A and B are shown apart, each in its own frame.
Chain A
Amino acid sequence: MTNPWTDIKNTDLVIVMGGNAAEAHPCGFKWVTEAKAHRGAKLVVVDPRYTRTASVADYYAPIRPGSDIAFLMGAIRWCMENDKVQWDYVRDYTNASFLVREDFGWQDGLFSGYDEEKRDFDKESWDYQIGDDGFALTDPTLENPRCVWQMLKKHVDVYTPEFVENITGTPRDKFLDICGMIGECSAVDKTMTSMYALGWTQHSKGAQNIRGMAMLQLILGNIGVRGGGMNALRGHSNIQGLTDIGLMSNLIPGYLNIPTESEVDWQTYLSTRSFTPLRPGQTSYWQNYPTFMVSFLKAMWGDAATEENDWAFDYLPKLDVPAYDILRMFELMNNDRVNLYFCQGFNPLLSIPNREKVTTGLSKLKMLVVMDPLSTETSHFWQNHGAHNDVDTASIQTEVLELPTTCFAEDEGALVNSGRWLQWHWPGATPPGEAKHDTWIMAQIWTRVRELYRTEGGAFPDPIVNLSWDYADPGEPHPSELAREMNGRALSDVTDPATGAVIVQAGQQVSGFGQLRGDGSTMAGCWIYAGSWTEEGNMMARRDNSDPDDVGMYLNWAFAWPANRRVLYNRASADLQGQPWDATRPLVQWDGERWGGYDVPDIAPTANPSEVGPFIMNQEGVSRLFTRGMMRDGPFPTHMEPFESPMANVFNPRMRGNPVARIFESDVARLGGSDEFPFVATSYRLTEHFHYWTKHNPVNAALQPEFFVEISEELAAERGITKGGRVRVWGARGQVWAKAVVTKRIKPMTCDGKTVHVVGIPLHWGFMGAAKKGWGPNSLTPFVGDANTDTPEFKAFLVNIEPAAEEPVA
């Protein structure tokens, strides 16, 4: 989230697309209720189902799963055509005026540079025109036909209300009503907030869904302001933290990157990360990349990371593919190329698409290690549970170790919520039996491995035996030690470059990332967390809930990254003179000499507002309506169909799904078509359950005891399905049996002249725990992910459905 949950009360319009906050984030959703009750805010929900969020909305419209880009581009077109644009914001705070290269273009659903063989674009033309001075050329009048604004206008021209209706199934009048409500928020004193979740990310073009809304928000001037923003509600309690700390194949903590093979050495690696400003006088904060990288390497390898050995750069692995993400790993398992696999609080047997493939992959491992508080389906993947897990146990040679861990009530540390608050928690219960902290387990495994390398030698032991491990008890580092390491400290005295005065003494914690240095004099495990544990103590444990003037910022409650800032890009809440766009909703402002206000300003404290642009992380100094080559599937979002869709792509019928999404050969053969599987399925959560955890709790299991699928009355009539009757749902990769919930909440839609039926598949059942045995949607979903993130396409796929015989009573 760019903004905190508590800021939603400041909005005028909430648009929920790609999420269902009332059910999935109930106590956060109360801030929507607050905005409605006290500000007169309106709530708009666009969703394939009439969800519980929709039931309290002011306006609801249906949409076909996987067609959101068409809706969003249509809304942008409508705003441009009807002058619903915050012009000053667009002109000064976005790249609308930047000129795009002459060779960039789009036709037949594809941007310039497509290579069908490689399933990739050559992105060279997706860039600005650069002048002799090295800066991008601009046209502040926005009239040059090659400027981003004109290019965008041309790009969205096809998305007329008729086109939108035809693709999305959203009736034209409803679409236009919603455009009208959105358009009102282009006024400086009106803001809209976007709340989305996995309903937008779990598509083969999920990142482009989000780009689409971000662009709309920029055109309305709603980024960086109170009551605005792009708010990813996020699924799990610390999914933000795990991402921040970079527990992904290609990441280093703080959104730095693992090198690729082409980055043969430290200098080559840094050469593509100079991030020089593309306009005069801009901050381009990523220029500090080397500082953060050296501080990270010092945190990893301490004294073994020296200037002479390029800070131990070669201790890091280099990638030969973009990422060994979870889909690739299960593909490799199926190819007999993985031997050992660890699942730490993760249940892939129910979370990864094409369960059959997950099962065969796990069956080919030599050893699977599961660390979990609960007895999961994954740790029992080899156990036969009849139709619910029909495996040949004796033939599965995988050795499985199931290790009991503590849960939240028994451990200590910080979790990062979706508003980027790092909140510390304390243990209040003794772990059951022999359950252990994850930190203990990881330290025990790792110190044993280190010991083996110390005594036996072996393959490149250096990064292991030299790993910094300076803990009071090497067998169980304390959370406070680990948190201090992530914050960072001075290894030798750190001085102010201007005055030479010592600002942090050797051994002291830094108080912010501005004190980090690239010369080896500081270390920090995760630079964006600098300031979370300073010499003043644990900032994440702060509990002062005062909120001057009720703005909703709570600056002394816990710690928010970066720099305790609560609203990202908050500099953009003020105009070119540094004064708030909306005087009734000030956030930060310029007093002629300094920035100040209710939040920590997202700009250098003395940066002159008329000179330094508000988007300091970007080389442009402004935000991007056109993203150059930063996304694999295009600098603008373009409509793409899901890989399994009831209709062909109207731009280019040959194009299946996202033209650059990675799909493995064996999975292409497992895609289904609408002749055999005519109905669109989508997965979702219920408010009574949390993923596959709460079915272990008898209370929640009693509230929602049994797997069901949800269909319209029309589809039920068409297929002879009765309310509460048992059905079989099947697709190209598997089948499930469920109770049919026949509702008015799902209605057939009309797209391209055809009736489209939607089947809703909730995701909370398996074969372990207290609830009745069932299945998850992953028995049915395709093994393909988003082109940029490889997030699997769980939200739009094809199935068939028929009545089934009743389950035999045991």
Chain B
Amino acid sequence: MNIDLSRRGFLRLAGAGVAATSLGAMGFGSAEAAEAAQVRAYKLATTTETRNTCPYCSVACGIIMYSRGDVKAGETAELMHIEGDADHPTNRGTLCPKGAALKDFVHAPTRLTHPRIRRAGSDQFEEISWDEALDKIARELKDDRDANFIATNDEGTPVNRWTTAGFLAASATTNETAWLTYKTVRSMGIVGFDNQARV
């Protein structure tokens, strides 16, 4: 298995080859050439391919994402298409009805795009800047921890726990997010810590 084979590169070359040879060999006149020029290029030929895995169930099917623009090159990239990864040992290119519609999940109309706040008693969200939101959260954490941290129990044993704040972690974030979350939550002494494994 040649893992470095770029399907995109292959398609692009093939597309160009077909266009050149058929135009020449078939002796198209200018009218046909003009028409051929209007034929749309293969949609995925100019996209960047990225390997990923389906975020839904834990079969973890391999997927290939096709984007216009290359994230690795620092470009803005827009996701165009997702398909099953034929090289993947588990799913071998197949996807279920959920995985097959993944692109539209990424582009769901209810994706969040801006931090928002709902103030006490209010009937709506309002936008807030990241800095303001993060400062506010940090302040609340610090003040509540200082007020409610339990350093020792009645016997004088250090217990260093904080029970008035809790953290529910996810089930589809990466291991790396999980580890960073673990470090931060535990260092503060939060014990109300859980994730979706339980449900």
Contact = CB atoms under 8 A, between A and B. Distances in A.
A348 B180 CA distance: 22
Interface in A240-284: 240-249, 253, 258, 261, 264
Contact of A27 (B96, B102, B189): B96
B136 interface: yes
A421 interface: yes
A442 B79 CA distance: 26
A430 B198 contact: no
Interface in A284-304: 300
A427 interface: yes
Contacts, number: 500
A777 to B, nearest CB: 11
A498 interface: no
Interface stretch (B15-23, B25-33, B152-160): B152-160
Contacts of A434: 113-115, 130
A755 interface: no
Contact of B57 (A236, A243, A405, A448): A236
A332 B174 contact: no
B109 A320 contact: no
B60 A423 contact: yes
A249 B170 contact: no
Given A339-B164, A375-B110, A421-B60, A696 B116 contact: no
Given A27-B61, A235-B196, A415-B53, A337 B89 contact: no
B13 interface: no
Contact of B187 (A464, A696, A792): A464
A194 B141 CA distance: 45
A399 B118 contact: yes
Nearest to A446: B184
A529 B178 CA distance: 13
B71 interface: yes
Contacts of B136: 401
A242 B169 contact: yes
A512 B136 CA distance: 42
Contacts of B139: 452
A539 interface: no
A614 interface: no
Nearest to B138: A448
Interface residues of A, number: 167
Contacts of A158: none
B195 to A, nearest CB: 4
Q: Decide if the interface of chain B is mainly helix, strand, loop or mixed.
A: mixed
A28 B89 CA distance: 11
The listed residue with most B CB atoms (<10 A of its CB), out of A445, A529, A688, is A445
Interface string A425-467: 1111110111111110111111011011100101110011001
B95 interface: yes
B104 A300 contact: no
Nearest to B56: A690
Given A28-B90, A329-B192, A449-B188, A460 B141 contact: no
Interface in B108-141: 108-123, 125, 128, 130, 133-141
Interface string A360-403: 00000011010011110001001110000000011111111111
A223 B124 CA distance: 55
B86 to A, nearest CB: 10
A340 B144 contact: yes
B145 A458 contact: yes
Contacts of B71: 426-430
Nearest to B86: A545
Contacts of B135: 448
B151 to A, nearest CB: 6
B171 A237 contact: yes
Contact of B193 (A324, A393, A483, A486): A324
Contacts of B34: none
A374 B176 contact: no
Contact of B166 (A329, A418, A433, A445): A329
Given A337-B163, A345-B172, A546-B1, A352 B52 contact: no
A546 B197 CA distance: 32
Contact of A438 (B62, B111, B173): B173
A432 B179 CA distance: 25
B199 A324 contact: no
Given A238-B175, A405-B112, A418-B58, A382 B79 contact: no
A730 interface: no
The listed residue with most A CB atoms (<10 A of its CB), out of B65, B96, B117, B151, is B96
Contacts of B174: 238, 241, 411-415, 438, 479
Given A449-B142, A699-B104, A415 B51 contact: no
B192 to A, nearest CB: 4
Given A30-B94, A247-B195, A425-B53, A346 B171 contact: yes
The listed residue with most A CB atoms (<10 A of its CB), out of B62, B79, B121, B194, is B194
Contacts of A418: 58-60
Interface string B79-102: 100101001111100111111011
Given A241-B178, A445-B138, A554-B89, A433 B113 contact: yes
A400 B91 CA distance: 40
Interface stretch (A35-43, A310-318, A600-608): A310-318
A414 B178 CA distance: 10
Nearest to A427: B71
Contacts of A399: 117-120
Contacts of B142: 449, 452-453, 456, 458
Contacts of B67: 428-429
A418 B66 CA distance: 26
A415 B60 contact: yes
Contact of A409 (B106, B168, B184, B186): B106
Contacts of A425: 51-53
Given A316-B186, A429-B106, A452-B139, A339 B144 contact: yes
A334 to B, nearest CB: 13
Contacts of B187: 300, 315, 446, 463-464, 467
A408 B158 CA distance: 40
B35 interface: no
Contacts of A300: 183, 186-187
B164 to A, nearest CB: 5
A237 B51 contact: no
A456 B146 CA distance: 11
B39 interface: no
A248 B55 CA distance: 21
Contact of B79 (A337, A395, A429): A429
B37 interface: no
A317 B167 CA distance: 15
Contact of B55 (A233, A237, A328, A352): A237
Contact of A402 (B125, B144, B194): B125
A342 B199 contact: no
B197 to A, nearest CB: 5
B130 A436 contact: yes
Contacts of B176: 412-414, 439, 477, 479, 482-483, 486
Interface in A773-803: 785, 789-792, 794
B44 interface: no
A543 interface: yes
A445 to B, nearest CB: 5
Given A242-B170, A479-B176, 16 more contacts: A25-B57, A27-B91, A242-B171, A247-B194, A264-B157, A351-B199, A394-B123, A411-B174, A428-B52, A430-B76, A432-B113, A442-B181, A452-B142, A482-B180, A687-B96, A688-B97
9 contacts: A5-B59, A238-B175, A239-B196, A248-B193, A346-B171, A427-B71, A448-B134, A543-B87, A699-B104
Interface of B: 1, 3, 48-62, 65-67, 69, 71-72, 76-79, 82, 84, 87-91, 94-99, 101-102, 104-106, 108-123, 125, 128, 130, 133-142, 144-146, 148-149, 151, 153, 155, 157-199
Please provide the 4 A-B residue pairs with the shortest distance between their CB atoms, ordered closest to farther. Answer: A433-B113, A413-B174, A345-B170, A428-B50
